[in-house]
Amino acid sequence: MNLKFLVVDDSVTMRRIVINSLKNLGFTDYVEAADGRDAIGKLAANPNINFVITDWNMPGLSGLDLSKAIRADESTAKLPILMVTTRGVKEDIIEALQARVSDYIVKPFTPQILKEKIELLLSRIQ
């Protein structure tokens, strides 16, 4: 399966970390977005995106609101969404799952954890 990722984070450094981890895992096709609003535009412009990795806390449109928007749109409703965030308390995890985020990684994380989460999500959709 040829994956095209949308990496959404308001921190350029964090996007670099995620993208470098993806590259190390052999995934080289990706689009970057600086926040949720930017991500919605990138999704519309790139219908071949098939995996979203998003931060939660971003100005404008948060990762949580982005996830809700993705799920509400028929053309993107089934995309795997991996939330990457510093928010690790139970209430936040429940809120993310209620927004139908596919899975959740708490920062800081290792490339191995990212790999395991991606593989887990892919195994659910194949």
Rounded to 10 deg, the angle between the 63-72 and 36-45 helix axes is: 30
List 7's β-bridge partners, or say none: 32, 53
Tokens matching residue 8: 């959404």
55 in Cβ contact with 82 (< 8 Å):
no
Per the domain annotation, does 24 fall within a domain? yes
**Whole-angstrom distance, CA of residue 119 vs CA of residue 34:** 25
Per the domain annotation, does 56 fall within a domain? yes
State the total domains in the chain: 1
- State which residues form the domain around 49: 5-118
Tokens matching residue 65: 């609101």
Per the domain annotation, does 124 fall within a domain? no
Whole-model pTM: value is 0.94
Average pLDDT, the chain: 92
Predicted pLDDT at 34:
96
Per the domain annotation, does 74 fall within a domain? yes
**Whole-angstrom distance, CA of residue 121 vs CA of residue 38:** 24
Per-residue pLDDT of the chain (126 residues; tens, 9 = 90+): 589 999 999 999 999 999 999 999 999 999 999 999 999 999 999 999 999 999 999 998 999 999 999 999 999 999 999 999 887 788 888 888 889 999 999 888 899 999 999 999 999 876
Per the domain annotation, does 53 fall within a domain? yes
**Whole-angstrom distance, CA of residue 43 vs CA of residue 4:** 11
Per the domain annotation, does 16 fall within a domain? yes
Q: Which CATH number fits the domain that encloses residue 28?
A: 3.40.50.2300
Per the domain annotation, does 21 fall within a domain? yes
Predicted pLDDT at 1:
59
- Measured from the Cβ of residue 2, the count of other Cβ atoms closer than 10 Å reads 8
- Measured from the Cβ of residue 117, the count of other Cβ atoms closer than 10 Å reads 20
Tokens matching residue 32: 């970057």
Per the domain annotation, does 123 fall within a domain? no
